Structure 1
């Protein structure tokens, strides 16, 4: 068996790990690199396996840093099956088409500038036609329903509790080369217990022989979720008392729905002022519809809430409006009263949120609330790091708005959650590969796993490095 790490190695984005066993090549995730634009542009076009060399792809979840290069793989000749949960497939139907639209528009903009300089045009990484074609290859599987990928290789997906449809990936491999039967576990992104909407991550008590695990928050702890909801209440109340509006950049999948549900509860309890709340993200609106289609993954808390809620919709209530049309979005910039605007993208790298930010970043009454991890070199990271001024659409703006950070809404396990993921395993892995984290996070997690759990054979692989096991 051989593993090659082709993404999310030494960084968080671009998840992609190649497993070679029994003469077959199985790709775990196929995600986009995000961050510095020029660097990401080049990374997303290099190092991707030839599609016709891959026999199957297993997708842990729909976030674009895990799924966003699938249409490129198909464009490069991949014709095999893409295995994931049904919810992940439904989310990808929306997200990959949206990503393809962005790829096309970004290249159009770049090519206009290149044409003026007499430079050759770029091709988009993929098109909407590529994304549509890739969706024909998705195969939805239920949790804990074992499926034979190939002779001697069985796949099982287990609820990872990170977002709708997310999964830990288990490959049970009867390795012909060594004559051994080994279990390889890819954690995907590990969720947090006691977070509303989706169920808690399911422990892998049986353990693993080989473990590939994420480390996004391997050196940090999250505050308890109820504390973060109270902090949200404080931030809304203080912003309104200044006569300002609250801008929340949010990932369209997971974070938007989480924030809407939290605000719904605070509004129902009378804990926040009565003010208009807008979700200004076409992708966020579309993915919220997908959430409504999958109540089978809702946790007990949201089921109880629905029994007592007059609206009978966790993602809809009287003061909430979903703005679909461009004209509706533009009208928000003319609001003269305090409001909450939730809009993508979550790292401020594109989308409608940039227009709202440009309009309000110079207003000291405004609050910008960051609720998720921000990749290096993104506008979101620059705001979190208090850089001033910042550039939006190529123009410099002084940051007079208040910037707040709430990590308690994160869908990622923190340091203790990551350690506990391994702690409960009855069979501890002989080899562990730490991925999907910045250097400090990965190094710290590896140190704790060695010292607290006695794990040996821990590696923090570099991108492109292969291991024969």
Structure 2
């Protein structure tokens, strides 16, 4: 049995891991590498580590684009097998892959302008919306804790990862016929949540794991606040609303927006905040919120009871408006009433949040409230870091609005939480490979695991093949 690291090794994007067993090739995730446009296109277009036509089956851990985003290109390039995912992951992919296709088309327009100036031929997008739709026809869905035979001698079971809606750890129970029929249990962690999520279940502790492919995104790094920091959120929002202006919340369309909606619902219901209009201004976020309502199997007990015992919608409350149309989005900038606007993207690099910032960042009565991570060199990071002037749509704007930050909403387990996850898992864990982390993060977690675990632990290397 062989495992080849084809992506998310030495970085956090482009999750792809190829397992060869019993003469079959199983691809774990098929994510997009995300980086500089031209570099990303070269990495994503051609699948340098394998031939798509030779892949027999794909298993998808969750819907985030760095895990699912190259599936339409894979099917377009000749892969004809099944794509196994949870019900919620498939539903999220219906909107996220279409949105990704739109971005591919937009990015190619930008790239082709540059190529034209250099006298080079134009390129095609990785895939179009039609490719994303066709890809969805190959999905085969199953629930958590339901074993399914997916290949010769390979049974797959999804376990809740507590990361985003439908996110799964993937357990493969393997009868390795090339190794005398030995039975082996390989776990692919996918991305692991923190636990005590405002909406979702905690990650499940999987039993009897022989081999582990584990994420390391936050190795060596601790989150500043615990999950469920309702009091901190209430305090920030109350302080912000007292300024008399708008509260602009840049938020990822999937997961973060729904967390914020549920928290606001709670705070309004408990009387901890004055009731003001709330707008979700992102077509993708609106679509994702509708999908969340379809999947109570992913909710923690509190949200489940809120839905079934109390008969209330976790993501809908008086004064909330979900906005799709562009003209309605524009009208928000004309309003002078107090309100809360939740809009994508979370890092302020794209989407409608940039228009709201353009129109509101120079008003000292307004507040920009960050509830998630912003990468280096993004507009969100420049604002978070206290820059007095930032560029929006190529023009300078003075940051006169107040800036507030609460970092309790991360969907990724931090260093201590990853160690807790590892120790809660039973089995010998003979070999552990760390993926989905920047080198310093993976090495930090590797060192910590070696200090508490007798089995082999190593950081995966891109393109390397391991046998076990």
Instruction: Give 1:402 deviation, angstroms.
Output: 3.3
Other-structure match for 2:299? 298
Q: CA RMSD in A?
A: 2.1
Query: C-alpha distance in 1, partners of 2:70/2:235?
Result: 39
Say whether residues 1:120 and 2:121 are aligned partners: yes
Other-structure match for 1:313? 313
Say whether residues 1:181 and 2:183 are aligned partners: yes
Query: C-alpha distance in 1, partners of 2:366/2:46?
Result: 41
Alignment of 1:42-441 (within 5 A): 42-48=42-48, 49-112=50-113, 114-115=115-116, 118-179=119-180, 180-206=182-208, 208-222=209-223, 223-226=225-228, 228-306=229-307, 312-387=312-387, 389-441=389-441
Instruction: Give 1:117 deviation, angstroms.
Output: 5.9
Query: C-alpha distance in 2, partners of 1:105/1:304?
Result: 43
Instruction: Give 1:7 deviation, angstroms.
Output: 1.7
SS in structure 2 of the partner of residue 111 of structure 1: helix
Query: Any conservation in 2 of the 1:51–1:75 contact (CA below 8 Å)?
Result: no
Q: 1:265 to 1:35 in 2, by over 3 A?
A: farther
Query: C-alpha distance in 1, partners of 2:335/2:372?
Result: 26
Q: 1:410 to 1:416 in 2, by over 3 A?
A: same
SS in structure 2 of the partner of residue 195 of structure 1: coil
Query: C-alpha distance in 2, partners of 1:245/1:427?
Result: 52
SS in structure 1 of the partner of residue 214 of structure 2: strand
Query: Any conservation in 2 of the 1:29–1:67 contact (CA below 8 Å)?
Result: yes
Q: 1:121 to 1:399 in 2, by over 3 A?
A: farther
Query: Any conservation in 2 of the 1:172–1:183 contact (CA below 8 Å)?
Result: yes
Instruction: Give 1:214 deviation, angstroms.
Output: 1.0
Task: Kindly provide the CA deviation profile for residues 256-278 of structure 1, in whole angstroms up to 9, marking residues without a partner as x.
Answer: 11100001111111211222111
Q: 1:44 to 1:293 in 2, by over 3 A?
A: same
Query: Any conservation in 2 of the 1:36–1:378 contact (CA below 8 Å)?
Result: no
Query: C-alpha distance in 2, partners of 1:259/1:23?
Result: 47
Query: C-alpha distance in 2, partners of 1:393/1:353?
Result: 12
Query: C-alpha distance in 1, partners of 2:86/2:450?
Result: 33
Query: Any conservation in 2 of the 1:36–1:377 contact (CA below 8 Å)?
Result: no
TM-score (norm 1): 0.93
Query: Any conservation in 2 of the 1:422–1:428 contact (CA below 8 Å)?
Result: no
Between stretches 60-69 and 102-111, larger displacement belongs to 102-111
Query: C-alpha distance in 2, partners of 1:19/1:25?
Result: 6
Q: 1:361 to 1:8 in 2, by over 3 A?
A: farther
Query: C-alpha distance in 1, partners of 2:281/2:456?
Result: 47
Gap regions ≥5 residues in structure 1:
none
Query: C-alpha distance in 1, partners of 2:109/2:411?
Result: 34
Query: Any conservation in 2 of the 1:15–1:66 contact (CA below 8 Å)?
Result: yes
Q: 1:377 to 1:4 in 2, by over 3 A?
A: farther
Query: Any conservation in 1 of the 2:53–2:77 contact (CA below 8 Å)?
Result: yes
Gap regions ≥5 residues in structure 2:
none
SS in structure 1 of the partner of residue 17 of structure 2: strand
Other-structure match for 2:457? 458
Q: 1:298 to 1:425 in 2, by over 3 A?
A: closer
Query: C-alpha distance in 2, partners of 1:402/1:217?
Result: 28
Query: C-alpha distance in 2, partners of 1:221/1:95?
Result: 29
Query: C-alpha distance in 1, partners of 2:113/2:413?
Result: 43
Runs of 4+ in 1 over 6 A off after TM superposition: none
Query: Any conservation in 1 of the 2:306–2:313 contact (CA below 8 Å)?
Result: no
Instruction: Give 1:35 deviation, angstroms.
Output: 4.2
Between stretches 394-403 and 20-29, larger displacement belongs to 394-403
Query: Any conservation in 2 of the 1:192–1:200 contact (CA below 8 Å)?
Result: yes
SS in structure 2 of the partner of residue 177 of structure 1: helix
Instruction: Give 1:17 deviation, angstroms.
Output: 1.1
Other-structure match for 1:444? 444
Number of residue pairs aligned between Structure 1 and Structure 2: 465
